[in-house]
């Protein structure tokens, strides 16, 4: 025979509340673990993009500086520049272009690692909701 809430002893009500709160906290911890795992996965993905960008930037500097500098220097020599001035200007132009591309890729990787993307939003919202529910029961 089930007791009505009015006839249930206070000790039993408090015991039930403690059990409910403990269960709720266990669920919140599980949610936090899951959400943290997802955020770490996103951060690792951002790090991978950052590393790929850095490797591409290094490779691009090596390859493009050797090929493009020579080609651009040849064009500048055809426009009545001395070979040394043409080579220096060509290296500067190519270096700036490659630096801009590298910066864009590195910025994308760093953007994925920004702090606001790593917050545990669902856990925070759920904890607030649970705290409010516990306050209403008390």
Local confidence band at 115 (pLDDT 50, 70, 90 cut-offs): low
Residue 138 vs residue 94, higher pLDDT:
94
Query: Cβ(101)–Cβ(60) under 8 Å?
Result: yes
Query: Cβ(120)–Cβ(35) under 8 Å?
Result: yes
Q: What is the pLDDT of residues 19-73, one digit of tens each?
A: 888 888 888 888 888 888 888 888 888 899 999 999 998 887 788 778 888 999 9
Flag whether pLDDT at 1 surpasses 50: no
Range in 88-92, 93-97, 110-114 the model is least confident about:
110-114
What does the pLDDT average to over 116-135? Answer: 76
**What is the structure's pLDDT at 36?**
86
Q: What percent of the chain has pLDDT over 70?
A: 91
Q: Is the pTM of this model over 0.75?
A: no
Rounded Cα–Cα distance for residues 76 and 71 (Å)? 9
Q: What is the pLDDT of residues 30-42, one digit of tens each?
A: 888 888 888 888 8
The tokens for 41 are: 């996965």
Residue 129 vs residue 7, higher pLDDT:
129
Going by the DSSP 8-state scheme, the letter that residue 8 receives in this structure is S
């Amino acid at each position: 025979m089930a007791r009505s809430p009015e006839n249930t002893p206070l000790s039993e009500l408090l015991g039930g509340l403690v059990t409910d709160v403990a269960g709720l906290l266990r669920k919140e911890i599980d949610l936090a673990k899951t959400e943290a795992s997802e955020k770490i996965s996103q951060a690792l993905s951002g790090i991978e993009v950052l590393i790929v960008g850095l490797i591409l930037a290094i490779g691009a500097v090596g390859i493009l500086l050797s090929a493009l500098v020579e080609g651009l220097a040849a064009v500048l020599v055809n426009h009545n520049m001395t070979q040394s001035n043409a080579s220096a200007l060509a290296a500067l132009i190519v270096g700036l272009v490659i630096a801009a591309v590298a910066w864009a890729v590195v910025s994308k990787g760093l953007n994925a690692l920004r702090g606001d993307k790593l917050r545990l939003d669902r856990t925070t919202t759920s904890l607030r909701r649970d705290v409010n529910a516990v306050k209403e029961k008390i």
